[in-house]
Amino acid sequence: MRPPAARMRRMGDSMSRLTLALAALIWALAWPVASWAEPVHGIAMHGRPALPAAFTHFPYTNPDAPKGGTLRQAITGSFDNLNPFIIKGRRVWQLGSLVFESLMARSYAEPFSLYGLIAEKVEMPDDRSSITFHLNRKARFADGRPVTAADVVFSWRTLRDEGRLNHRSYYKKVKKVETPDDYTVRFILDGKDRELPLILGLMPVLPKHVYEKTEFNRTTLSPPVGSGPYAVVEVKAGQKLVLQRRKDWWAADLPSRRGLYNFDRIALDYYRDNQAAFEAFKKGEADVRYESDATRWATAYDFPAVKSGEVIRETAPTGLPKPLSAFVFNTRRAIFADRTVREALQYTFDFEWANANLFHKLYARTHGYFDGSELSSVGRPASDVEREILKAAGAKLEERFVKGAWRSPVSDGSGLDRRNLRTALRLLAQAGWRLAGGKLMKDGRPFAFELLIAAPEHEKLALIWQRALKRIGIAMTIRLVDSAQFTRRLLSYDYDMVPYTWYNSLSPGNEQMFYWGSQGRTREGTRNYMGVADPAIDKVIGEIVAARERGRFVAAVRALDRLLMSGFYVLPLYHAPGQWVAYRKTIKRPATFSLYGFMTEPLWHAP
């Protein structure tokens, strides 16, 4: 981040040095409290945005990228709806950014910062009781009509009442909307949700004159109208969609858009499954492919185009927390109510054997809930601020978690690590379980549970773990059900154990209560699948939501990470070290990756 004085020098040589120094001092003193009482170019969830008002482009873009060419993408699935904002139908989610634009643009080089787009300036008081958007008078929809406050209000009201569930849940929190003039919109809020103003900044803007004449909540294959960089020019229902870059796109030279959306055409071809989409990429019918299958990445990318250098393979680094994929203990069930039992089972899963024999040693072991990011507590002793937060929450943590020393156990890779299994048995004995006749018993009942799964890939992993558990007298039954039954039982917590993956951002907030809040132990439909009910966790989540500056926010998230890890609520599995991506050599990318890794928006075509 640039020092305050460097920012102020951009204001011009007309200011005296004394005035400049005073202005820099005022800026520095104001830094800890993020208040935007005057219109500014950008806002951040915590503190201030990293880029100054005079920034020219985002750091992960090439502002001189040439325009032209076609980007072909192989998409798995189908579509029957070109309205990306409703629940019904199989939507084309890419239209949400290619055809439509939001009030402000997110920088993917920062945890959660927004900069000018349709709204060129924004005002927000320190208590976040309102947010005012000043619209760019140059903003135009594809049909040439200007974007006005009436369009913004229409979009908010329509998405609040008929949009997707995430839009409905957030937009209904707005208390009142005011439009002082045709290019100013003010949302009045209660100030309780500090993230809400930024969520409103990401609201897509719809042309009122187009969508007020339609039944918005119905699926449609009519090309949508927005203010974004592309327009739909070809539709083959369920098979193909072609978009053309608009030569009259109003925002092409805005700093928040410069270097993005460089292809003249984007062609989305749909395939029935992932393997078919991969075959299309192999044949040269697609230009970029994101790979998620370790075996395919290790063994199938040996086709001629790779060997000749026509296709480039990369593992792109990301700064996001790695997904937490895990086998989840349902602590509502007596079998997993004891924390010591849950810790014991950590020692029964042989990741090293599975990684070598199933995944070609491509995965890394997951330890915590925010691995691979600044939010993780793994390997980091608790700071004074963290200790203060934990103490105020009434948390009582063992030193191994306070010091950041806990790791998921490492095995010898044999598949049946005797040392780890002995550790598991010792811990189970502390919980009252004893081996008798080859079975683990307590109070006359055996240690037995069911692992509920819906995907065959989980079955292979479960069978390996089942063998190790059997070795110490534990009987695990594997039940494979269809996706509908799995979802139904997941929502009602009707299982002993399930596999699940949580995805966290660099700006976790209210959703953490939905994931780990105590109310989720009894309230159905949350993502608290393990049944956490810890007042200390609830209080620390409150600290996360209330944090006003980044340092305290990071400390609060790390405190949450320690508490969750110490509860042994899940058996963490593994994650990819980065993004696996392959692309044609005619596709070029900027030298700098975003925090999100490899992105298609900044790519360009080199003849």
Q: Are 70 and 263 in contact (CB under 8 A)?
A: yes
| % of residues, the chain, pLDDT over 90 | 91
Q: What are residue 133's phi and psi, to 5 degrees?
A: -105, 125
Task: Give the other-Cβ count within 10 Å of 18's Cβ.
Answer: 8
Kindly indicate the confidence band of residue 191, based on its pLDDT and cuts at 50, 70 and 90: confident
- Distance separating alpha carbons of residues 467 and 5, to the nearest angstrom: 64
- Distance separating alpha carbons of residues 128 and 189, to the nearest angstrom: 7
Kindly indicate the confidence band of residue 28, based on its pLDDT and cuts at 50, 70 and 90: very low
- Distance separating alpha carbons of residues 578 and 315, to the nearest angstrom: 6
Q: Do the bridges between strand 119-124 and strand 434-436 make them parallel or antiparallel, or are there none, so unpaired?
A: unpaired
Chain centroid offset of residue 298 CA: 26
Task: Give me the DSSP letters along 559-583.
Answer: HHHHHHHHTT-EEE-EE-SSEEEEE
Query: Which of 17-26, 32-41, 213-222 reaches the highest mean pLDDT?
Result: 213-222
Per-residue model confidence as pLDDT tens digits over 469-511: 999 999 999 999 998 999 999 999 999 999 999 999 999 998 9
Which pLDDT belongs to residue 165? 87
Kindly indicate the confidence band of residue 455, based on its pLDDT and cuts at 50, 70 and 90: confident
Which pLDDT belongs to residue 36? 54
Kindly indicate the confidence band of residue 23, based on its pLDDT and cuts at 50, 70 and 90: very low
Q: Are 517 and 538 in contact (CB under 8 A)?
A: yes
Kindly indicate the confidence band of residue 518, based on its pLDDT and cuts at 50, 70 and 90: very high
Residue 4 predicted with pLDDT over 90: no
In the chain the domains, ranked by start, together with CATH numbers, are: 1-31 (no CATH), 33-318+578-607 (3.40.190.10), 325-574 (3.10.105.10)
Contacts of 332 (CB under 8 A, 6+ apart): 493, 521, 531
The pTM for the full model equals 0.87
Which pLDDT belongs to residue 457? 83
315: tokens are 């593992």
Average pLDDT of the residues of the chain: 93
Which pLDDT belongs to residue 503? 95
**Across the chain, which distance is largest between two alpha carbons, in Å?**
89
Which pLDDT belongs to residue 31? 39
Residue 73 predicted with pLDDT over 70: yes
Chain centroid offset of residue 25 CA: 37
Give the number of residues written for the chain.
607
Weakest-pLDDT range from 396-405, 455-464, 494-503: 455-464
- Distance separating alpha carbons of residues 350 and 346, to the nearest angstrom: 9
Which pLDDT belongs to residue 380? 98
Which pLDDT belongs to residue 32? 40
Helices (H), 393-534: 399-402, 418-430, 456-471, 483-491, 511-516
- Distance separating alpha carbons of residues 429 and 444, to the nearest angstrom: 14
Per-residue model confidence as pLDDT tens digits over 127-169: 999 999 999 999 999 999 999 999 999 999 999 999 998 899 9
Write b or e for each residue in 413-432: b if 16 or more Cβ atoms lie within 10 A of its Cβ, otherwise e.
Answer: eebebeebbebbbebbeeee
Which pLDDT belongs to residue 1? 37
Which pLDDT belongs to residue 387? 98
527: tokens are 């993502």
- pLDDT, average across residues 424-448: 96
Residues forming beta bridges with residue 232, ordered by sequence position: 243
